[in-house]
Amino acid sequence: MKLLVSPINLEEAKAAYNGGADFIDVKNPKEGSLGANFPWVIRSVKEAMDPKTPVSATIGDMNYKPGTASLAALGAAVAGADYIKVGLYDIQTTEQAIDMVEHVVRSVKDYDPSKKVVISGYADYKRINSIPLRELPSVCADYGADVAMMDTGIKDGRSTFEFMTNEELSQFVESAHDLGLISAIAGNIKFEDMEAINQIGPDVIGIRGCVCGGDRNSTIQQKLVEELKSMMV
């Protein structure tokens, strides 16, 4: 299991890296759960990291605007992100999800086939009017995405575990694996969730708030990254 930590700037990225993060995930919490940061921030982080350390970048909690999402995805790829992540926020039908995934994947892979596309659904999909998470892995697999992820759309302190049972989370991971995808779980994961996370066994867990001392709008602390990393199996 790999640890993805989401910094907002170069200083935080260094703290995450020095703490043992396997993925550095550039985002901007001011713009939402998967808020997009600026191209120059992505570039500065990529240039500062060990070349073997993958850098990902979020492009937003996107409603049904496949053209906008595709341009944003290409921008993140050009800026240096190895993994480009889009959230299917307010995507209400499978057809809309397919349209989004197909075109985001094409925009990234046409530019550089080695780059990976991460498609995120939301554990709290019912309250943000999005498709059920159970539909996500098959759409990802059928239309060329590399990673099926879940997060929480509304950052009000409630975690993925408050919206999904351990069994549902395990089913999501198993479904992704059965389809040849990388599985990832995020969404206000806390230190006390790590025992359950280790049992569920996603390929990647994504965190920010818990390594900022519990407040995602605070600053990433290297010692907390180290502590969380030590709890992973």
**2-231, what's its fold?**
TIM Barrel (3.20.20)
Angle between helices 66-79 and 94-111 (to 10 degrees): 30
- Kindly list the distances between the CA atom of residue 80 and the CA atoms of 64, 114, 167, 170, 207, in Å, as whole numbers in the listed order: 25, 12, 36, 32, 21
Residue 149 confidence (pLDDT): 98
Using DSSP, state whether 204 is helix, strand or coil. strand
Residue 217 confidence (pLDDT): 85
Q: Calculate the average pLDDT of the chain.
A: 97
Mean pLDDT computed over 157-170: 96
Residues 79-103: pLDDT tens digits?
A: 999 999 999 999 999 999 999 999 9
> Distance (Å, rounded) from C-alpha 117 to C-alpha 120?
10
Q: Are 27 and 6 spatial neighbours (Cβ–Cβ below 8 Å)?
A: yes
Return the domain boundaries, the chain: 2-231
Residue 224 confidence (pLDDT): 98
What percentage of residues in the chain have a pLDDT greater than 70?
A: 100
pTM for the model stands at: 0.96
214: pLDDT strictly greater than 90: no
Mean pLDDT computed over 90-119: 97
65: pLDDT strictly greater than 90: yes
Q: Which of 136, 139, 129 is nearest to 92 (CA)?
A: 129
189: pLDDT strictly greater than 90: yes
Buried-exposed string 182-219: b where 16+ CB fall within 10 A, e elsewhere: bbbbbbbbeeebbeebeebebbbbbbbbbbbeeebeee
Q: Which two tokens stand for residue 199?
A: 């049992």
Q: Are 81 and 26 spatial neighbours (Cβ–Cβ below 8 Å)?
A: yes
180: pLDDT strictly greater than 90: yes
Residue 216 confidence (pLDDT): 87
> Distance (Å, rounded) from C-alpha 26 to C-alpha 130?
24
Mean pLDDT computed over 8-16: 98
47: pLDDT strictly greater than 90: yes
Catalytic annotation, residues: 27, 85
124: pLDDT strictly greater than 90: yes
Give the distance, in angstroms, between the CA of residue 200 and the centroid of all CA atoms in the same chain.
17
